[in-house]
Structure 1
Amino acid sequence: MGDPALSRRGFLAASAAAGVGMTALSGCGGDSDGGSSGGTTTIEWWNISTTEPAKGVWAALAKKFEAQNPDVKVKIVQLENDAYKSKMTTLIASGKLPDIFHTWGGGVLKQQVDAGLVEDLTDRTKPWADGLLKVAREPYLLDGKVYGIPFDIGMIGFWYNKTLFKQAGVSTPPTTWTGFLDAVGKLKAKGITPIALAGKEKWPEMYYWAYLAMRTAGADALQKAYDDKDFTGADFVAAGKHLKDLVDLQPFQKGFLNAAYSTPTGQAATVGNGKAAMELMGQWAPSVQADAGKGLGDDLGFFPFPAVEGGKGAITEVFGGGGGHALRRDAPQAAVDFLKFFASQATDLELVKKTSVLPVVPAAESAITDPNTKAVQAQLNGATGFQLYLDQAYAPAVGQEVNDNVSALIAGSKSPEQVAQSITQAAKEEQ
């Protein structure tokens, strides 16, 4: 989150999750029958859908599934992104996971699989899972086996206020990093806060360094650096320097270092209420802006992360990910049935129409009507490279080191060189 609307960063929000958490800890990961009682199987579903409209839509879908399967009850546990990750870390240590749980795939899922805690879904889902979009399935494939089923796919990009851009004399969204810095300068000159940022949560800051690394070193370089345990190359240091160039312009809202993402005074609300011109966020951004603030409606636009002049990467290389569900090992058949229900065309159409997620069922793409969602979909369809969120692609300890160090760079306490060295050290220690 890197986190994420019901995708890697999910439709995040301050929630009553803390109160649910410890109760949920004692109730999840039960016997292999999913908690059967009196002929009824109860399956526990942990997700990060804590803001509307997704929260209500998902609850209604659970009721719909129960109506179609009278002998099954779905117990929903909804946790804000960071709280969710914290609780899951505790559960992994205990050796028990919920029947159905949110996953972003990548290195975090691999760690859970290697610990023997996740169900191999290859055979149990093959009749229907093979029909889902290939790019959406990839984060959940490990050694050719299926360990998760996607419900969303998307990318990170800039969401901007068209009126504020016009006021600052920025006629078109920038396509180069130099042009982007110039636009930031023009916005500041007009007394407009250029960018909203949730510095408290760190993962939104990571997006900048990750994208700049992709643009300077190329889309494949981030995974290669992790595999080689070496982020000290010139391109990665350059990425940090490009980010420092932005930070030196002081583009963020007042108090950004203590700002959360989805609170009433956080990053999303700052943009949604017209108090900042941009945020770098995933395809779920409009929904969270509207939930945390007023939302911009037709005044909201989208553009991909700019290219870096002289860099090895292209503007068509995408950084992002999706949301999926995995099952604990030996999960009951009812949990598999729920995954099939959630990945059906009928459900996907409802999710696309009501929650603005991007479809994973090909036939559901026709439901996209929002022009910004179409723009994101077009970028994904034309992508020439794809990199999963770093704090999900990498092992948890390495991903956290990336987030912590990028945050330190933005706060001014670490240099680009120190960031590269610290991430390299974490990658070496992880092996």
Structure 2
Amino acid sequence: MKYSKRVLSIIAVAIFGISMVACAGSITKESEKSKSPALPTKSTTIELMTSWGGVDSKAGSLKEIIAKFENENSTIKISNQSIFGDEYLPTLKTRFASGNEPDVFGLWPGSDIKYLIKANKVADLTDKLKEDRSWMDSFKESSFSLTTYENRIYGIPFELVFEGLFINKDLFNKYQVKIPENYEELKTAITKFKENGIIPIAYNSSAEGSYIYQNMIANLGGSKGVEESITDGKINKYYIDAMKYLKELYDMKAFPNDALTLNSNERNQLFFSKQAAMIVQGSWFIPYFDKYDESVEMIPFPSINNNSPKIPTGLGGGTFYISSSAWDTPSGEENTILLLKHLTSKETATFFYEKTALLSNLKIQQETPYSSLAQQSIDLYEKTLEENKTSIPDHIIDRSAWNDIVIKQFPYFLEGKKTAEEIWKQAVEKIQSN
């Protein structure tokens, strides 16, 4: 069949038009695809739980550290579940017992973390640290001894803490009382303050109030006496004798009249408001004072029996761990390590020091002191001989026995209703049954 040139031209134009329409359609679809919004990147959440919550001096700084991490890691969100005060430890233990543990958490050394490690609830960080030697080597090597169990490292020893006697120097000056260097001078100071209507020592019968008792144990027994606490099924004499020294002060009315019913905040307020001349506390107490306040000083607890003064020292709540369950996925492992490195970095340590006077176990020299009290306390710690630094007793004794038996029964002991030997016999039985 033959077609005229005119017909062939019409067919060619038609075919060309169809092909152009098809191409245009294809281009339009591709254009629409390029204009359609990209699918959002899926974010993950890490649950962080520390004792730096509520009104804790480090709570605000922790929030800033978290915000910085989230800004640098846009696909990771941090759920900050930190709790302040005496409720932290029971809440943390309950969450682990119910299978609802946080991904990353802070906890001071002691029996509680050992139980969690033995129950395979805590991630082993040894290989991660060895893979990143710059991270591991940024810490003082000796600090890992308190987070190592059966030659494996489970915790990052970020926060250094130590205890001592805080004094209101202005009250000592006003009433011409000598700052005590030994136990007899301490009793003299107590008598003089009582005569002038000042509470000598802010104390209450709580776990936190027991710091004075712990300093007495350290003074009497030194490192060996603190750490070798139980011999032949009995608590050693230093733990017993320290209770008796404390009762002597109680009988002298060295403490508030309502010491057995005061809560910890009320006890601290007695010292803050200058109603009390002295309080036994730790380095974490420093940021509660104004940066320019020079009326407060930290000294070692006065020596007993002519021994050299001792300073209980160890790791604080800023000792960080990762729950085993957080590593159920590769991304969980990667993200929690990323957070842990951020929380324990030199930049974070410097930030916390400048904001809250937190002392770290990192190999860094802080240039600007947080306050005169911070500098004075750090100098005290650094000038104390290593042989006069001891472990903190409640890091050595099983925490449930310490809190639930010894501390809970302190009021009965102070009022003469139970002996130190009776209380510790019960505590040792609980320790040995665990």
Q: Same fold (TM over 0.5)?
A: yes
CA distance in 2, matches of 1:86, 1:302: 30
Counterparts in 2 of 1:102 and 1:138: CA distance versus 1, 3 Å: same
Q: Secondary structure at the match of 2:228?
A: helix
Counterparts in 2 of 1:228 and 1:66: CA distance versus 1, 3 Å: farther
Q: Is the 8 A contact 2:218 2:310 kept in 1?
A: no
Partner of 1:18: none
Q: Secondary structure at the match of 1:257?
A: coil
Deviation at 1:321, TM superposition (A): 3.4
Partner of 1:61: 65
CA distance in 2, matches of 1:65, 1:138: 28
Q: Is the 8 A contact 2:215 2:310 kept in 1?
A: no
CA distance in 1, matches of 2:222, 2:392: 15
CA distance in 1, matches of 2:140, 2:368: 16
Deviation at 1:330, TM superposition (A): 4.3
CA distance in 2, matches of 1:237, 1:394: 14
Partner of 1:318: 312
Counterparts in 2 of 1:82 and 1:60: CA distance versus 1, 3 Å: same
Partner of 1:353: 354
Q: Does 2:211 align with 1:214?
A: no
Q: Is the 8 A contact 1:125 1:340 kept in 2?
A: no
Q: Secondary structure at the match of 2:201?
A: coil
Counterparts in 2 of 1:58 and 1:235: CA distance versus 1, 3 Å: closer
Deviation at 1:94, TM superposition (A): 2.1
Counterparts in 2 of 1:257 and 1:406: CA distance versus 1, 3 Å: closer
Q: What letter corresponds to residue 293 of structure 2 in structure 1?
A: G
Partner of 1:421: 425
Q: Is the 8 A contact 2:159 2:360 kept in 1?
A: yes
Q: Can you give the 5+ residue segments of structure 1 that lack an aligned partner in the other structure?
A: 1-36
Partner of 2:295: 299
CA distance in 2, matches of 1:229, 1:344: 43
Counterparts in 2 of 1:93 and 1:376: CA distance versus 1, 3 Å: same
Deviation at 1:65, TM superposition (A): 0.3
Partner of 1:149: 156
Q: Secondary structure at the match of 1:101?
A: strand
Q: Can you give the 5+ residue segments of structure 2 that lack an aligned partner in the other structure?
A: 1-39, 327-331
Name the Cα RMSD after superposition. Answer: 2.4
CA distance in 1, matches of 2:396, 2:272: 30
Q: What letter corresponds to residue 65 of structure 2 in structure 1?
A: L
Question: Which residue of 220, 225, 228 corresponds with 1:224?
Answer: 228
Partner of 2:181: 175
Question: Which residue of 312, 328, 333 corresponds with 2:323?
Answer: 328
Q: Is the 8 A contact 2:357 2:370 kept in 1?
A: no
Question: Mapping of 1:90-101 within 5 angstroms?
Answer: 90-101=94-105
Q: Does 2:121 align with 1:117?
A: yes
Counterparts in 2 of 1:319 and 1:420: CA distance versus 1, 3 Å: farther
CA distance in 2, matches of 1:193, 1:418: 30
Partner of 2:278: 278
Q: What letter corresponds to residue 155 of structure 2 in structure 1?
A: G
Q: What letter corresponds to residue 192 of structure 1 in structure 2?
A: I
Deviation at 1:320, TM superposition (A): 4.7
Deviation at 1:375, TM superposition (A): 3.2
CA distance in 2, matches of 1:421, 1:409: 13
Q: Secondary structure at the match of 2:422?
A: helix
Counterparts in 2 of 1:41 and 1:388: CA distance versus 1, 3 Å: farther
CA distance in 1, matches of 2:156, 2:358: 15
CA distance in 2, matches of 1:320, 1:251: 28
Q: What letter corresponds to residue 353 of structure 2 in structure 1?
A: V
Aligned length: 381
Q: Does 2:73 align with 1:79?
A: no
Once the two structures are superposed, residues 35-94 of structure 1 have per-residue CA deviations (whole angstroms, 9 ceiling, x without a partner) of xx9521100111111226421111011010001111110010121232111112212322
- Superposition TM-score, scaled by structure 2 size: 0.81
Partner of 1:287: 287
Partner of 1:309: 305
Deviation at 1:101, TM superposition (A): 0.9
Q: Is the 8 A contact 1:40 1:71 kept in 2?
A: yes
Larger radius of gyration: 2
Partner of 2:144: 137
Partner of 1:244: 247
Q: Secondary structure at the match of 2:366?
A: helix
Deviation at 1:415, TM superposition (A): 2.4
Partner of 2:16: none
Q: Secondary structure at the match of 2:223?
A: coil
CA distance in 2, matches of 1:218, 1:388: 9
Counterparts in 2 of 1:111 and 1:274: CA distance versus 1, 3 Å: same
Deviation at 1:399, TM superposition (A): 2.5
Deviation at 1:386, TM superposition (A): 4.1
Q: Is the 8 A contact 1:209 1:406 kept in 2?
A: no
Q: Is the 8 A contact 1:193 1:277 kept in 2?
A: yes
Deviation at 1:322, TM superposition (A): 1.9
Once the two structures are superposed, residues 74-123 of structure 1 have per-residue CA deviations (whole angstroms, 9 ceiling, x without a partner) of 01012123211111221232244200111102322111100110011111
Counterparts in 2 of 1:94 and 1:386: CA distance versus 1, 3 Å: farther
CA distance in 2, matches of 1:365, 1:114: 37
Counterparts in 2 of 1:115 and 1:240: CA distance versus 1, 3 Å: same
Q: Is the 8 A contact 1:106 1:388 kept in 2?
A: no
Q: What letter corresponds to residue 329 of structure 1 in structure 2?
A: S
Partner of 2:263: 260
Counterparts in 2 of 1:234 and 1:361: CA distance versus 1, 3 Å: closer
Q: Is the 8 A contact 1:96 1:117 kept in 2?
A: no
Q: Secondary structure at the match of 2:81?
A: strand
Structure 1 stretch displaced more, 398-407 or 102-111: 398-407
Counterparts in 2 of 1:228 and 1:341: CA distance versus 1, 3 Å: farther
Q: Is the 8 A contact 1:136 1:322 kept in 2?
A: no
Q: Is the 8 A contact 1:125 1:336 kept in 2?
A: no
Q: Does 2:187 align with 1:184?
A: no
Q: Secondary structure at the match of 2:408?
A: helix
